[in-house]
């Protein structure tokens, strides 16, 4: 990593998390540490803050650790997947966090390292593992999954309209020789998609690569478990910010935050029953997107969708712990 990567929607992240992160002796969790840009900004902005930075990628932890070394014990690295936030907190002597940040998807650091196999624009082994110790790789999926499973993955995770055509090309090619490189796969996908559809929407392989990455790292299943677990350990008046880059991730986020912000009191009663009121309030009326200024500076922020919420403090009289 020759230069620090630009954190996505940094101003918005700081604005939403500041009321919680600026408390005396506050604790924040950067659940997707990556190159450490968001954590660096939080630690700089709030001198009394401690941040636990979680990442499953040991390379990310090493590089971020160097970047954040000057903050000393205020930065605590933890190698884990972000659905293990409660365990990571407990391991470090904490029960709750004041602020939690999720910046989902693949990090710029991983995209920019060809050997990781995430980028369709560079030739590399078909890997795509965020945790290099995991067994499943994109190469295994492409070469061994049944055609029906591949079609489902491309349609569901990549929203690929031409999934059947792409999979047919993959199956035909792998019958001749194993597909082992990102360039070979990207070429197969490009040739399988009709020419008219290739003229717009960027590289035609991006949807297939996204789908394979999500399957390799079980991202959606992990996210379905991670967000509720994180919300459960957020302190009263604590805040959470989620940036997602895929419609399915954003849908899961919206549904869970809406559920927590809704009353479960039976309809018709004049007041919420004890323990049935909303436990969160949503801070973003709809998902926020990057400004044009940010897009000009950091094009990778284009697909980002940001949602934020705050845990309702018991003193407001709204509900109990979730």
55 is annotated as contributing to ligand binding: yes
**pLDDT, greater one: 280 or 205:** 280
CATH of 135-216, one of 1.20.1730.10, 3.30.2350.10, 1.10.150.170, 3.40.1080.10: 1.10.150.170
Task: Let me know: does 212 contact 119? Beta carbons within 8 Å.
Answer: no
Query: H or E stretch including 36?
Result: none
State pLDDT tens for residues 77-97.
999 999 999 999 999 999 999
- Percent of the chain's residues with pLDDT above 90: 72
- 210 a known binding residue? no
- The domain 10-109+219-316 is placed in CATH, from the list 3.40.50.150, 3.40.190.100, 3.40.640.10, 3.30.365.10, at 3.40.50.150
Owner of token pair 């004041």: 98
Minimum mean pLDDT range among 53-67, 112-126, 233-247, 248-262:
112-126
Q: Where, residue-wise, is CATH 3.40.50.150 in the chain?
A: 10-109+219-316
Predicted confidence band of residue 300 (pLDDT cuts 50, 70, 90): confident
Q: Rounded to whole angstroms, how far apart are CA atoms 248 and 30?
A: 21
Using the predicted structure, report yes or no on whether residue 121 has a pLDDT greater than 70.
Answer: no
146: number of Cβ within 10 Å: 10
Answer yes or no: is 110 a known binding residue.
Answer: yes
Task: Provide mean pLDDT across the span 230-254.
Answer: 96
Q: Do the annotations mark residue 82 as ligand-binding? A: yes
Q: Which residue has the tokens 């070979």?
A: 184
Q: Please tell me whether 36 is known to bind a ligand.
A: yes
Averaged pLDDT for residues 183-208: 87
Report whether 37 belongs to an annotated binding site: yes
The pLDDT, as a whole number, for residue 6 is: 81
pLDDT attached to residue 123: 80
């Amino acid at each position: 990593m020759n230069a620090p990567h630009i954190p996505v929607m940094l101003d918005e992240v700081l604005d939403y998390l500041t009321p919680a992160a600026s408390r005396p002796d506050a604790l924040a969790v950067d659940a997707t540490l990556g190159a450490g840009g968001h954590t660096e900004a939080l630690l700089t902005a709030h001198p009394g803050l401690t941040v636990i930075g979680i990442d499953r990628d040991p390379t990310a932890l090493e590089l971020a650790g160097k970047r954040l070394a000057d903050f000393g014990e205020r930065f605590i690295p933890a190698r884990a997947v972000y659905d293990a936030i409660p365990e990571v907190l407990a391991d470090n002597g904490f029960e709750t966090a004041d602020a939690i940040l999720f910046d989902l998807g693949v990090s710029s650091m991983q995209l920019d390292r060809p050997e990781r196999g995430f980028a369709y624009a560079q030739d590399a082994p078909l890997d795509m593992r965020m945790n290099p110790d995991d067994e499943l790789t994109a190469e295994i999926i492409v070469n061994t999954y049944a055609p029906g499973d591949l079609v489902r993955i491309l349609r569901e995770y990549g929203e690929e309209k031409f999934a059947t055509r792409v999979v047919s090309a993959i199956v035909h090619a792998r019958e001749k020789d194993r597909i082992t490189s990102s360039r070979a796969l990207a070429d197969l996908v490009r040739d399988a998609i009709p020419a008219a559809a290739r003229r717009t929407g960027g590289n035609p392989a991006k949807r297939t690569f996204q789908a394979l990455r999500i399957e390799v790292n079980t991202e959606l299943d992990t996210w379905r478990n991670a967000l509720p677990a994180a919300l459960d350990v957020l302190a009263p008046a604590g805040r959470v910010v989620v940036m997602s880059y895929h419609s399915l991730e954003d849908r899961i986020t919206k549904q869970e935050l809406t559920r927590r912000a809704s009353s479960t009191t039976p309809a018709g009663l004049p007041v919420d029953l004890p323990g049935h009121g909303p436990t969160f309030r949503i801070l973003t009326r709809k998902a926020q997107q990057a400004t044009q200024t940010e897009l000009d500076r950091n094009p990778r922020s284009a697909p980002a969708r940001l949602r934020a919420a705050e845990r309702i403090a018991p003193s407001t009289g709204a509900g109990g712990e979730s």
